[in-house]
Amino acid sequence: MKNKLLYWLPFLLLLETGCKKILEVTPQSSITEATYFKNEGDFEPYLTGIYTAMRSFANNITYGTERSEELVAASNSRFTTAWSQILSPTTGAVNYNDWYKAIGNCNLLLKKITDFSFSNADAKKRIMGETYALRAYFYFSLTRIIGDAPIMLEAITDDNVPLLPRAPATDVMKQIQSDLDASIASFRSMAGFVPTAYPSLYRFAYGSVQALKADAKLWSAKVMNGGTADFNDAIAAITEVEITGRTLNTDFKNAVTLRAAANPEAILAAFFLRDESNGSSNYGLNALPFFTIVQGALNIDSIPYANTSGNGQGAYQISPKSRALFTSSTDKRIPFTWVTERQSTGPKISWITKLPGTKYSDDRISDNDIPMYRLADVFLMKAEAYAGISNTALAISYLNKVRNRAGTGDYGGATDKATIEKEILDERERELYFENKRWYDLVRFHKAGTINVYTYVPNLVGKTTPLFWPINTTVLANNNLIKQTEGY
């Protein structure tokens, strides 16, 4: 009996194989640090991943729009205190970790790729070119919000995070320019380089890197007193953009309604599509009304409303101040900028029509691409740069390219530098309204003396809120080298 019992016990085999092996598990459904970046093909998906961060910054209008004059409340409200210009270390302060997450991803990719040999050298150069451009974009986005910023270039892999102070904005700008130059050099060094190539309008290409460079140079020229040299650099960069073969749409409607991929004017756009999980709707969602708040409108068919408040929040409308800039009634941009809801009781809300979403069979979805750079914007940048170096004639010629397409005809006003610059600022609003650029435009023109933003923006009147954002307590607490933004 006892012997039989031994057969009965199928248990006795364990632990004989040794304790080490018994606990070795090969993960089947997770990618770990040990398994990734082992293959040439691992870099491209990682780069694709980083673009989701670009999209999320392009889609954040707290920093690019809310502090400008563009918006007032509609039926609902989705403003942050940035809109009311009430910013303090305890209200509306920034935790910039999202930017450093994005920058960290670039740092990691760059670290891993540098010594990795590719079978296709051009592929590596393109990936590096895009990654440098993305890092430049993230730093540029950040320095426009907070000015001085820590420069983190290390690829962090554990809890050892060097504590960095905020570098002066000029140093941040140097870093941005150095990344942009590295990006441009990387693109140019590709064996098959052609400046006109835009493999995807949703990703950085040679032309869009030059557009970003021009933008950064304009900022540096005006906000950091870079002066003539920076203006000239900006002009040179835009000249490079121009040779990439983009053309203005003849109809303004197409400029703002065509998807970037099919839009001859697009240079760089953030991709949105309703069925892409983390990019299914953009900030236009807040501006679209929903049915119950516009029902009964006499012109309801021209109002881009959503059926549900989930797809249109009815939060913002165009401000009277922005509307007033459209002085010409022949301006073809008006219907693609706003529509005033007319109830039987009279005109009501002026709903924004700039990003009208796409009308699907079930509902309207805010899934337009967000233009980051398009040719009209770049023309106006060039006009601004020429005006900056007092070449008003060329400035006007670029201004007119935009005006003529809009049907407002050649500029006929005064041609002194100050007037032209104000005109360019106004034209940018008419052309680029609700494209998430206005606050930065205002800062540039304020710094250059064209306007006084403290009298220009209604909510800033009587306030002294600095142009840069305060840093929040979490950031300050976790790094004692970080100083609060000046003025708070």
Partner 1 sequence: MVKRLHMKRKPTAGKLYRFILLLILFAPFLCLAQTHSFSGKVTDSAGAPLEHATVTIKGAKRGIATAVDGSFTLAVDNSTVLVVSSVGYTSREIAAGNQTNLVIVLARANDALSDIVVVGYTQQSKQKTTAAVSKLNPAELKNTSNPSPVQALQGKIAGVSVPITAGQPGAGAPNIIIRGGTKNNVYGSGLGNNNGTSVGSVDASSPLVVVDGVFRAFTDINPDDIESLQVMKDAASTAIYGARGANGVIVIKTKGGKFNSKMNLSLNHRTTWETQARNYNYMGAADYLKLARTTVKNTFDPIDKNNLLNNGGFSAGTKVYTKKGDYGKAVNLTALYDNIVAVEGQDYVNNLLAHGWQTMDDPINPGTKLLFADNHYQDMLWNTGLTQNDNLSVDGGSDKANYNLAFGRTNQAGVLVGTKYKRYDALGNFGFRASDNFRIDVNLSYQNLSPNYVDAYQNDVVRAIRITPLIRIFKDDGNPAVGELYTARNRFHTLKYDDTRTKTERFVSRVAGDWTIIKGLHFKPSLSYLSDDYHETFMRKATPPDEVQPSTQRQKTDYTSNSRQLMTDQLLQYDFSLARDHHFTVLAGINYTKNTGNIVSVSSQRATSDYIYTINEPSTTVINGVVTTNVTNFGTSFSESRSASAFGQLNYDYNSKYLFSGTLRRDGFSNFAPENKYALFPSASVGWNISKEKFWHINFMNALKLRASWGKAGLSDLSLTDTYGGYSATTYALGSGILRANLSNPDLKWESTTTLDLAFDAALFNNRVTLTVDYYNKLTDQRLASKPLPSESPFSSITFNNGSLRNRGIEIELGATVLSIKKFAWNTNFSFAYNQQKIISLPNNGRAKNRQGGDLVYDANSKSLVEAGGFAEGERPYAIYAYKTLGVFSIEAEAAAWNATTKDNLASPQGIAVGKHAGDFIFEDVNHDGIIDTKDQVFMGYRTPTTIGGMQNTFSYKGISLRFTMDYALGHLISNGALARSLGQGRAFNEGAPAEALGPDIWQKPGDMGKKYARFSFADADFGQRNYLRSATLGNNNGYGSDVSVMITKGDFLAFRELTIAYDLPQNIMHKIHATGMNVFASVYNLGYLTRYKGLNPETYTGFDPGGYPRPRQFSLGATIKF
Q: Which of residues 354-413 bind partner 1 (CB under 8 A)?
A: 358-363
Report the residue number, 372 or 425, with the smaller CB distance to partner 1: 372
CA distance 186 to 122: 9
81 binds partner 1 (CB under 8 A): yes
**From the list 36, 118, 456, 488, which residue makes contact with partner 1 (rule: CB under 8 A)?**
36
39 binds partner 1 (CB under 8 A): no
| 337 CA to centre of own chain | 20
| Of residues 436-475, those binding partner 1 (CB under 8 A) | 473-475
Contacts of 198 (CB under 8 A, 6+ apart): 205, 207, 208, 244, 267
135 binds partner 1 (CB under 8 A): no
Strand-strand pairing, 316-318 and 71-73: antiparallel
- Provide, rounded to whole angstroms, the least separation between the CB of residue 474 and partner 1: 7
Residue 144 Cα distances to 141, 220, 314, 447, 465, angstroms: 5, 10, 28, 13, 15
Question: Kind and range of the H or E element at 370?
Answer: strand 370-374
CB 215 within 8 A of CB 372: no
Report the residue number, 107 or 177, with the smaller CB distance to partner 1: 107
- Provide, rounded to whole angstroms, the least separation between the CB of residue 464 and partner 1: 14
310 binds partner 1 (CB under 8 A): yes
- Provide, rounded to whole angstroms, the least separation between the CB of residue 218 and partner 1: 27
247 binds partner 1 (CB under 8 A): no
| Of residues 335-354, those binding partner 1 (CB under 8 A) | 343, 345
50 binds partner 1 (CB under 8 A): yes
Residue identified by tokens 């040990």 is: 34
59 binds partner 1 (CB under 8 A): no
3 binds partner 1 (CB under 8 A): no
Count of C-beta atoms within a 10 Å radius of residue 269:
24
CA distance 99 to 103: 6
Q: Residues binding partner 1: what is the number (CB under 8 A)?
A: 105
- Provide, rounded to whole angstroms, the least separation between the CB of residue 415 and partner 1: 40
Report the residue number, 88 or 225, with the smaller CB distance to partner 1: 88
433 binds partner 1 (CB under 8 A): no
Quickly list DSSP for 244-297.
Answer: TT----SSHHHHHHS-GGG-TTEEEEE---TTSGGGS--THHHHS-BHHHHTT-
299 binds partner 1 (CB under 8 A): no
**From the list 138, 204, 206, 271, which residue makes contact with partner 1 (rule: CB under 8 A)?**
271
**From the list 245, 276, 414, 415, which residue makes contact with partner 1 (rule: CB under 8 A)?**
276
| Of residues 142-181, those binding partner 1 (CB under 8 A) | 150, 152, 156-159, 161, 163-164
Helices 97-114 + 121-146 axis angle, to 10: 160
The residue range among 69-77, 414-422, 426-434, 442-450 that interacts with partner 1, by the rule CB under 8 A, is 69-77
277 binds partner 1 (CB under 8 A): yes
**From the list 279, 304, 357, 388, which residue makes contact with partner 1 (rule: CB under 8 A)?**
279
**From the list 40, 60, 73, 251, which residue makes contact with partner 1 (rule: CB under 8 A)?**
73
The residue range among 241-249, 274-282, 322-330, 411-419 that interacts with partner 1, by the rule CB under 8 A, is 274-282
Closest CA to 379 of 234, 262, 217: 234
The residue range among 128-136, 217-225, 277-285, 434-442 that interacts with partner 1, by the rule CB under 8 A, is 277-285
- Provide, rounded to whole angstroms, the least separation between the CB of residue 251 and partner 1: 20
Residue 195 has phi, psi (to 5 degrees) of -65, -25
88 binds partner 1 (CB under 8 A): yes
CA distance 186 to 269: 21
The residue range among 75-83, 114-122, 132-140, 429-437 that interacts with partner 1, by the rule CB under 8 A, is 75-83
CA distance 219 to 255: 25
CA distance 230 to 51: 28
CA distance 444 to 225: 11
| Of residues 93-122, those binding partner 1 (CB under 8 A) | 95-97, 100-101, 103-105, 107-108
Helices 392-406 + 417-432 axis angle, to 10: 30
CA count, 13 A, side-chain hemisphere, 56: 12
